[in-house]
């Protein structure tokens, strides 16, 4: 392994170890006789994040095989593949907490904290329209992705991100819902009460004037979306307003476009959208939050 990768491996391990001792251990504490395993949780997270981000191996079997072949001198207590997967599946909350810490601690200076972009990305566990979900059925259901004209079983990854001029946006909040969940409903439940003094750009699904009128008064939030046609509106009004609505919609879509670039980047970097091989609820959470953490660990180190 090249020296620069060795340096990166050590840096990631030291960073994860420090965070684990200060905060992450409280998300995955054990109360059993095996509460202090020889292969520590910090080592487990380091192996997963390093191999995924640096080697771009996306499957757990590939990650474990690489660690077994090239990292055993660094991590001599590496468990078997089955043990490695079982340990990972106990740590979804640790990866979620790590992701939020990375966002909070490494927010770039060029982020515009007064302007945010919001959208969602489908996380697919099964693509077929007629098949039923067999994995993580308590949190997944069937949804439809209009962008890809695709029915699927899975989740939605919801994003609220700071706008960055001429760059992909930087996440402020991320959250998961079932695939059928409306984006506006998810916005209200996940972070609608946590943000203030913000101009937000979203798609037509966020067009809810009564709700955002209240938010404007209480939290100084304004949501801008392409104009949604009203049922029963007179044709003469539609024709008169068409040019303005088209221009306004194009302007909003242009500002929102970097959200798509963010999703394309993180999917290309981690294959986060493809969850077909996941076999449990905890495994699905690790798949999402672990890959988000790996993408930003790669940028930071």
CB 285 within 8 A of CB 176: yes
Q: How far is the C-alpha of 132 from the C-alpha of 287, rounded, in Å?
A: 21
Domain-located, residue 105: no
- Alpha-helix runs per DSSP H in 52-154: 60-70, 81-88, 92-105
Using only the alpha carbons of the chain, give its radius of gyration. 21
User: Same domain for 118 and 267?
Assistant: yes
Domain-located, residue 173: yes
81 or 232: which carries more pLDDT confidence? Answer: 81
Q: In the numeric block, which tokens belong to residue 168? A: 């992909």
User: Same domain for 249 and 205?
Assistant: yes
Q: How far is the C-alpha of 239 from the C-alpha of 90, rounded, in Å?
A: 57
CB 52 within 8 A of CB 85: no
Q: Average of pLDDT values for 135-162?
A: 86
User: Same domain for 265 and 127?
Assistant: yes
Query: Is the pTM here over 0.85, yes or no?
Result: yes
Residue 108 pLDDT level (bands cut at 50, 70, 90): very high
Number of domains in the chain: 2
Domain-located, residue 285: no
CB 117 within 8 A of CB 163: yes
Helix (H) or strand (E) holding 40: none
User: Same domain for 67 and 123?
Assistant: no
User: Same domain for 136 and 251?
Assistant: yes
User: Same domain for 34 and 132?
Assistant: no
Q: Quick check: 127 pLDDT over 80?
A: no
User: Same domain for 12 and 126?
Assistant: no
Domain with 126, as residue range(s), is 110-271
Domain-located, residue 276: no
User: Same domain for 120 and 259?
Assistant: yes
Report which of 197, 199, 202 is spatially closest to residue 185, judged by C-alpha positions.
Answer: 202
Please state which of the ranges 2-16, 69-83, 226-240 shows the lowest mean pLDDT.
226-240
Residue 262 CB coordination number (10 Å): 20
- Judged on CB neighbours under 10 Å (0-12, 13-18, 19+), 57 is middle
């Amino acid at each position: 392994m090249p020296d620069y990768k060795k340096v990166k491996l050590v840096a990631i391990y030291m960073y994860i170890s420090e965070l684990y001792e200060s905060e992450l251990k409280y998300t995955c504490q054990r109360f059993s006789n095996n509460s202090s395993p020889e292969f520590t949780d910090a080592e487990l997270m380091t192996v997963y994040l390093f191999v995924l981000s640096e080697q771009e191996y996306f499957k757990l079997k590939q990650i474990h095989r690489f660690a077994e072949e090239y990292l055993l001198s660094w991590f001599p207590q590496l468990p078997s593949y089955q043990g490695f997967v079982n340990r990972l599946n106990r740590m979804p909350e640790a990866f979620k907490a790590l992701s939020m810490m990375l966002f909070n601690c490494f927010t770039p200076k060029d982020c515009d904290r007064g302007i945010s972009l919001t959208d969602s990305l489908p996380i697919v566990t099964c693509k077929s329209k007629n098949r039923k979900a067999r994995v993580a059925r308590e949190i997944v259901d069937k949804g439809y992705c209009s962008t890809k004209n695709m029915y699927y079983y899975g989740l939605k990854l919801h994003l609220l991100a700071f706008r960055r001029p001429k760059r992909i946006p930087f996440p402020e909040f991320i959250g998961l819902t079932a695939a059928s969940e409306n984006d506006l409903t998810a916005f209200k439940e996940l972070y609608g009460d946590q943000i203030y003094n913000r101009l937000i750009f979203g798609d037509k699904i966020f067009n809810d004037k009564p709700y955002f009128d209240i938010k404007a008064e209480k939290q100084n939030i304004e949501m801008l979306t392409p104009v949604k046609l009203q049922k029963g509106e007179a044709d003469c009004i539609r024709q008169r307003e068409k040019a303005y609505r088209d221009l306004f919609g194009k302007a909003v879509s242009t500002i929102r476009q970097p959200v798509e670039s963010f999703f394309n980047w993180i999917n290309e970097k981690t294959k986060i959208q493809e969850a077909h091989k996941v076999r449990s609820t905890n495994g699905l959470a690790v798949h999402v939050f672990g890959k988000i953490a790996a993408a930003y660990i790669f940028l930071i180190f």
